[in-house]
Amino acid sequence: MGHAAPAAWLDALLTDRVRGGLARLDPDVTDLLRLGAYQLLRMGSVPPYAAIGQTVELAKQRHGIGASRLVNAVLRRIDRDHQAGGLAALEPATPPDDPLEALALRYSHPRWLVARWVERYGMEDAERLLAANNVEAPVVVRPYGVTSEELAESLAAAGVTVEPPPEGTIEARDSLRLAPGTPVTALGAFRQGLFFMQDPASTLVTQYAAAPAGSEAADLCAAPGGKALELARTARAVYAGDRSVARLRRVVANARRVNAPNVLPFAGDARAPAVAPVDVVLVDAPCTGTGTFRRHPDARWRLRISDLAVMAALQREILRSAATVVRPGGLLVYSTCSLEPEENDMQVDAFLADHPEFALEPPPADAVPESALDAGRLRVLPQRHGVDGAFAARLRRARQVAA
């Protein structure tokens, strides 16, 4: 079942054991049952008697004796079934006939999203994506102001293990993967500003961008600031903007901690960029985030199919505005952490059709692994690359617009 007990699977096993199903229960009682079942099945540190007893007592305090008896009966049955036959004994009594519904239940994803991915990737590849979304994301860090070798030595001296990536996982140059459970923010190297955390997919976006040394760059949707820091490795200045002042504080804090004085934060809406034309403009656009579900498991349930159209409209507006602050001959880099065509290829294709002064330009040789490139665009997929999902396109503006 992956790293955690998926919510839809928990609901299915509870529904099988509640007469009349979960729909008839108070939503808070349902939540208590979910918590109790999760403790029983996934938290080995909590003995069954404690998981059941605590949940029953909560139900009694909040909903009375009747609710506590129901919770007690359901959780004890789950515990008996689990003890007798393991997780296999908890599978739904009547599995769905619809294969898409079966996948949605098994991996706890909305059926409409499963259907999209099966149509795009095929059943086998889509199932790998669903499974990848239920696995805990690793801790990956990026050295700053030191080499990766120096950072590794510093971490080793603090007793931190640097792990090799699993076979088949794509790598970003100089990233270091730390052992699960590493208390990152408590490390001296963190407080000294020797690294920041960033998934390889995000790092690959800026390595794909390949900002020229000494250039002026703008990151128009910058928070929390990791991509701005990556651009600042080679750029003379990076104007890091975000419309949210609260989120911008994270950019400021990150830049100060690692001592990146060439990152210049500002509050501003990317739909009306408050910068003069620069050499490189990065638009890491707001998106549905379907490539980062392993980091935000609840996001899959908040997402609605209508959000694709809403986000696409916002992305289109931001991209058009960002183009106005790219110097002639400069680069516009569009990226998302979405897997959806409406937010990725369709955005780029529509923009290029409307802006003949821009053309897709693949990155320099060896900027990113060949497996991450698709017809000159960056395409990183969780099920194929073992990291978050990401998309990017490098768009070069002509030095002179044809008359």
Q: Both 118 and 49 in a single domain?
A: yes
Q: Is residue 403 part of a domain?
A: no
1 belongs to a structural domain:
no
In this structure, the number of other CB atoms found within 10 A of the CB of residue 327 comes to 16
> What proportion of the chain, given as a percentage, has pLDDT over 90?
75
pLDDT in tens, 252-288: 999 999 999 999 999 999 999 999 999 999 999 999 9
Distances, alpha carbon 209 to alpha carbons 68, 126, 202, 402, in Å: 57, 28, 11, 25
Tokens of 107: 């991996």
CATH at residue 350: 3.40.50.150
- Residues 50-99: tens digit of each pLDDT: 889 989 999 999 999 988 999 999 999 888 887 876 665 566 655 677 89
Cβ pair 228, 263 in contact under 8 A: yes
pLDDT of residue 85: 64
Q: pLDDT at position 91, please?
A: 65
Residue 357 and residue 292 in one domain? yes
pLDDT band at 6 (very low <50, low <70, confident <90, very high): low
Of 51-60, 283-292, 342-351, 363-372, the least confident: 51-60
Q: Which of 147, 180, 196 is the last residue of a domain?
A: 196
The answer for 108, left when phi > 0, alpha when psi is -120 to 50, beta otherwise, is left
Domain match, 59 and 166 both? no
Centre a 10 Å sphere on the Cβ of residue 128 and count the other Cβ atoms it contains. Answer: 16
Together in a domain, 307 and 178: no
Asked about 337 being catalytic, the answer comes back as yes
Look at residues 132, 154, 187 and tell me which one is the last residue of a structural domain: 132
Per-residue burial over 269-288, b = 16 or more CB atoms within 10 Å of its CB, e = otherwise? ebeebebeebbbbbbbbbbb
| Residues in contact with 183: Cβ distance below 8 Å, sequence separation at least 6, in sequence order | none
- Per-residue model confidence as pLDDT tens digits over 152-170: 999 999 999 999 999 999 9
Has residue 402 been placed in a domain?
no
Query: What is the per-residue pLDDT for 4?
Result: 42
Alpha carbons 10 and 40: distance in angstroms, whole number: 11
Is the distance from CB of 219 to CB of 239 less than 8 angstroms?
yes
Residue 73: CB partners within 8 Å, gap ≥ 6? none
Nearest-angstrom CA–CA distance, 287 and 332: 18
DSSP state of 342: G
**Residue 2 in domain:** no
What's the mean pLDDT in 93-114?
85
Catalytic residue among 332, 337, 372, 381: 337
Check if the beta carbon of residue 393 is closer than 8 Å to that of residue 378.
Answer: yes
- In this prediction, residues 329-341 reach a mean pLDDT of 98
Same domain, 192 and 205: no
Instruction: Tell me what percent of the residues of the chain surpass a pLDDT of 70.
Output: 94
Which residue would you say has higher pLDDT here, 95 or 11? Answer: 11
Chain position carrying tokens 């049955």: 77
* Mean of all residue pLDDT scores within the chain: 92
Question: Taking Cα atoms as reference points, which of 200, 142, 205 lies closest to residue 166?
Answer: 200
CATH number at residue 148: 3.30.70
Q: Report how far apart, in Å, the C-alpha atoms of 166 and of each of 29, 107, 198 are.
A: 41, 22, 17
Contact 307, 288 (CB under 8 A): yes
pTM, two decimals, is 0.85
Give the DSSP letter of residue 121: H
**Both 244 and 370 in a single domain?**
yes
CA dist 359 and 391 (Å) reads: 17
pLDDT at 108: 86
Which residue's entry shows tokens 């620069």? 278
CA 107 to chain centre: 17
Note whether 282 and 381 are same-domain residues: yes
Q: 188 and 63, same structural domain?
A: no
- Are 249 and 223 in contact by the 8 Å Cβ rule? The answer is no
Q: How many domains does the chain have?
A: 3
Contacts of 355 (CB under 8 A, 6+ apart): 323
| Helical axes 99-107 vs 7-15, angle rounded to 10° | 110
